[in-house]
A and B are shown apart, each in its own frame.
Chain A
Amino acid sequence: MFAADEYVMLSALQHFAFCPRQCALIHIEQAWAENIYTLRGLRVHEKVHQPGDELIEEGIRIERSLTLYSHQLGLKGIADVVEFLPDGTPYPVEYKSGSKKSRLADNIQLCAQALCLEEMLDRPVLKGAIFHHQSRRRRKVLLDDRLRSLTLQTIEQTRSLLALGKLPPPVKDKRCDDCSLIETCMPHAVNYFTESAHQNNPFLIK
């Protein structure tokens, strides 16, 4: 259904939901992609050394770094952790390290993982969780119809953004303050360009 390069990365959905420009910077401009991998590496590293983070009940099997895909939706990616309940029901858990990102963006990414799992294993996935590394808290997420339709909508929007290959303008709000791509994005330089270019006019003799 989808050509190989039309598949959307699961992580791109989260980036899109947080800020479309961030999504374009990472997935089109490939800005600082290496740093994101570095971060991911760090996260895995931390986990290995802190086994007490996860309280796992008897009979639950854990798969780490599971490759996920959905051919119907044109999605691919890797899940940090998928737990399998004793009856075999998959339960995706997305790990979040560092600063608080948008809750909704996290939920959308988790829901997309669930949609992949449903297709891959042919069974319903109705719940999942977000694990916040800093607070060591798990937040249960109900994968209801509202979240599902929002996720489907995000998948389509992300796919068209990536197909277009253009950068949307910066969002100009407080998201920028905790965005790790702020230097690459240069929201100030773009949003206030006319004003600052006027002051920086190199043809003007002062």
Chain B
Amino acid sequence: MKTILNTLYVQTQGSYLRLDHETLKLEVEKELKFQIPLHHLGGIVAFGNVLLSPFLIHKCAEDGRNLIWLTEYGRYKARLAGSTTGNVLLRRCQHQAVDSPESTLAIARYMVAGKLQNARSIVMRAAREAKDKTDKDILSKTAQIHAESIQNTETASDLDKLRGIEGYAAKAYFGSFTQMIRQNRIAFTFTERTKNPPRDPINALLSFVYTLLTNECISACESIGLDPQMGFLHALRPGKPSLALDLMEELRSPLADRLVLTLINRGQIKPEDFTERPGGAIYLSEDGRKTILAEYQKRKQEEITHPIVGSKIPLGLIPHVQARLLARHLRGDVPSYQPFILRG
């Protein structure tokens, strides 16, 4: 199996990255701070004021290495796109599937069902582990709602109904998120999902990790040759990476939410790791982001047995594998898109 290459996250403001032969060098105020052979890197994520030499950018474009620019606080700004490659026939099949209501609904159903399965399993696990009776009850109720919703996805007659089912389950899921928190529960109370900007620490954490995951899903689509904007479940809107967001649905719980919960429950992320900006937006401190990135990288190396591919795969490669499974389906190789379901 393909090895999972590291992503270099550069957070130090004023860093300069340049290429010296095949080695990437990171300098801060003309002083060399870090170097690594470029071929060890699968991607580079630059936060805020990070400069990159043109030669490094060219080389990344040539090799198809990801290069992503975020703001200092982790909001997505831009990504490098080299010349268009990949399979035009695959893209055409994708467009045809998007144009066909039946194909779209079929793919979207599998995606939503996969998402709800993964959300349900995280909730059920929390319910099993909960000591408090009220917590247990709330979580069990949420798991029950998911079970019913999953069954409804199979028969949903159109996309709107499917989205309604998903929205209803998501509301229950986030409504019981606090019940999955076992440390610093007062500081980490969660009421509803708020974005742009996040208004409490959990939302800040989720937004940050979701940004990382979205970018990985976009890269996965692009490296497989799928158009990341042509989605099935998410509506098509200019500038919106709908397909990447589709693929991300089933990965949110196992890859992002679980990580956030673990970091809080192990006390690795504490209330002090957040700052409030004027206007009530809550942001993660630089140290907090560092902790998350380190744990995120570690989690990506963990291996699981993929139910469809049948071999062991690091979690970090799941977006790629899923994009490939979707491509196989769109090209008529297999009769359905199979979402990634993490059992247990």
Interface contact A196-B308, CB-CB below 8 Å: yes
User: Which of A184, A196, A203 has the most chain B CB atoms inside 10 A of its CB?
Assistant: A203
Contact B331 A167 (CB under 8 A): yes
- CB-CB < 8 A to B332: which residues of A? 166-167
Give chain B nearest CB distance to A99 CB in angstroms. 16
A29 to B150, CA, bound (A): 34
Query: Which chain B residues lie closer than 8 Å to A193 at the CB level?
Result: 308, 334-335
**Residue of A33, A34, A167, A202 ringed by the most chain B CB atoms within 10 A:** A202
Cα A188 to Cα B325 in complex, Å, equals 11
Q: Which chain A residues numbered 2 to 44 have a C-beta less than 8 Å away from chain B?
A: 28-31, 33-34
Instruction: Tell whether, in the assembled complex, residue B151 and residue A197 are in contact, meaning their CB atoms are under 8 Å apart.
Output: no
The contact size tier of chain B is 35 or more
Q: Is the interface of B mostly helix, strand, loop or mixed?
A: loop
B336 and A197 form a contact (CB under 8 A): yes
Contact residues of A: prevailing secondary structure: loop
Residues of chain B at the chain A interface (Cβ within 8 Å): 1-2, 63-64, 85-87, 89-90, 110, 113-114, 117, 147, 150-151, 153-154, 225, 307-311, 324-325, 328, 331-336, 338-339, 341, 343
Can you list 27 A-B contacts (CB < 8 A)? A29-B87, A29-B89, A29-B225, A29-B331, A30-B86, A30-B87, A30-B225, A33-B85, A34-B64, A167-B331, A167-B333, A169-B333, A183-B324, A186-B309, A186-B325, A186-B333, A188-B309, A196-B310, A197-B334, A197-B335, A197-B338, A199-B307, A200-B307, A200-B339, A203-B153, A203-B154, A206-B343
Interface residues of A, Cβ cutoff 8 Å to B: 28-31, 33-34, 165-167, 169, 183-184, 186, 188-190, 192-193, 196-197, 199-200, 202-203, 205-206
List of 5 A-B pairs having minimum Cβ-Cβ separation, nearest first = A202-B113, A203-B154, A200-B307, A188-B310, A29-B87
